[in-house]
């Protein structure tokens, strides 16, 4: 379940971008005597540029072979979602272009790519530019997730997960972190958005690709959230209800939430 969920992001990003006709790493069977064409320029919109580079980087990290890429290509279909335009930033645009070019080299340099990837992360982390590059999973992408994941080798999945270990979330930890953030904020202005985001994330973590289960979990988490019902008194009332685990229950069973 966890593997399928983590790889949904790859499947969502890939469909609208496989039209580039390029893969992240060149394999021996695809080599030819003719030089590869120069990398195309990235879109001028930084959101689109970031999404494109992220998609190519995911393919690079998974190290898919030609047959696997063809499977992804067969289930690919264009998709889009409304986004807030990102302000222009020459440094970030240049860093994204450099990473894009490095990923598409005939013989990619892992160390060079890691350095360029860190450059992009550092520039985004400064907060000078807010990128609206989150990806919402579509029903069509989730329907094809199992088919695509079945084509991956165990070693590919293990390597991908190992490199993203710090990004793997636990449902209970996610909710407790959300409670802590809201308590420390001292304001109820962002409560609704925080509950919506946390409930959605926990629902997908537990329900995986089962949309009915995801909705069930989402409703349980959001409806039982004490912040939705009594946020103003939660910081001052001893024993106020919080998200908590029931003894003997696993977080993956999603029986852990009590109003």
At 145-179, the pLDDT tens digits run 888 889 999 999 899 888 888 878 888 888 888 88
Rounded CA separation 11/4 (Å): 10
The mean pLDDT value for 14-32 works out to 43
Q: Can you give the pLDDT at residue 194?
A: 81
**Mean pLDDT over the full length of the chain:** 74
Residues 179 and 117 in one domain: no
The mean pLDDT value for 61-72 works out to 91
How distant, in Å, are the alpha carbons of 80, 140, 162 from that of 137?
11, 8, 23
CA angle 221, 222, 224 (to 5 degrees): 65
Residue 234 lies in a domain: yes
**Tens of pLDDT, residues 186-245:** 565 567 778 888 888 888 888 887 888 988 988 888 876 554 544 443 333 333 333 343
63 and 103 Cβ atoms separated by less than 8 Å: no
Q: Can you give the pLDDT at residue 49?
A: 93
Which of 129, 145, 167 finishes a domain? 167
Q: Can you give the pLDDT at residue 249?
A: 40
Higher pLDDT, 89 or 8: 89
Residue 207 lies in a domain: yes
Higher pLDDT, 72 or 227: 72
Residues 187 and 234 in one domain: yes
Residues 161 and 43 in one domain: yes
136 has pLDDT over 60: yes
Q: Can you give the pLDDT at residue 239?
A: 35
97 exposure class (CB count in 10 Å sphere: 0-12, 13-18, 19+): middle
Which of 125, 147, 167 finishes a domain? 167
Of 15-24, 30-39, 79-88, the least confident: 15-24
Q: Can you give the pLDDT at residue 187?
A: 60
Of 86-90, 97-101, 124-128, where does the model show the most confidence? Answer: 97-101
pTM above 0.75, yes or no: no
Residue 259 lies in a domain: no
Q: Can you give the pLDDT at residue 142?
A: 81
Residues 211 and 118 in one domain: no
Higher pLDDT, 13 or 105: 105
Q: Can you give the pLDDT at residue 152?
A: 92
253 CB contacts (<8 Å, ≥6 apart)? none
The mean pLDDT value for 47-67 works out to 92
256 has pLDDT over 60: no
Domain interval for residue 239: 171-253
129 has pLDDT over 50: yes
Residues 60 and 107 in one domain: yes
Which of 167, 191, 215 finishes a domain? 167
Residues 109 and 134 in one domain: yes
Q: Can you give the pLDDT at residue 160?
A: 87
* Domain count across the chain: 2
Query: Which of 59, 52, 57, 58 lies closest to 27 in space, CA to CA?
Result: 59
Query: Which of 249, 238, 242, 250 lies closest to 226 in space, CA to CA?
Result: 242
Query: Which of 75, 200, 233 lies closest to 148 in space, CA to CA?
Result: 75
Of 83-92, 133-142, 191-200, 242-251, where does the model show the most confidence? Answer: 83-92
């Amino acid at each position: 379940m966890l593997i399928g969920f983590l790889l949904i992001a790859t499947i969502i990003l890939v469909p609208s971008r496989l039209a580039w006709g390029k893969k992240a790493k060149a394999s021996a069977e695809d080599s030819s005597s003719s030089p590869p064409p120069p990398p195309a320029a990235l879109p001028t919109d930084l959101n689109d540029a970031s999404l494109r580079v992220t998609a190519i980087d995911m393919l690079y990290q998974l190290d898919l072979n030609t047959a696997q890429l063809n499977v992804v290509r067969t289930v690919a279909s264009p998709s889009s979602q409304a986004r807030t335009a990102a302000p222009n930033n020459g440094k970030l645009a240049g860093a994204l272009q450099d990473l894009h070019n490095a990923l598409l080299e005939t013989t990619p340099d892992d160390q060079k790519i890691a350095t360029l990837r860190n450059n992009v992360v550092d520039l985004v982390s400064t907060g000078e530019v807010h990128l609206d590059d989150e990806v919402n999973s579509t029903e069509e992408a989730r329907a094809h997730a199992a088919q695509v994941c079945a084509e991956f080798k165990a070693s590919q999945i293990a390597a991908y997960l190992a490199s993203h270990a710090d990004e793997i979330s636990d449902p209970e930890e996610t909710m407790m972190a959300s409670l802590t953030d809201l308590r420390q904020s001292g304001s109820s202005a962002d409560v609704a958005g925080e509950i919506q985001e946390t409930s959605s994330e926990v629902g997908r973590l537990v329900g995986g690709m089962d949309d009915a289960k995801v909705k069930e979990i989402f409703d349980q988490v959001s409806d039982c959230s004490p912040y939705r019902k009594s946020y103003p008194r939660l910081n001052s009332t001893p024993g106020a209800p919080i998200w908590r685990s029931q003894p003997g229950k696993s977080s993956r069973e999603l029986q852990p939430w009590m109003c």
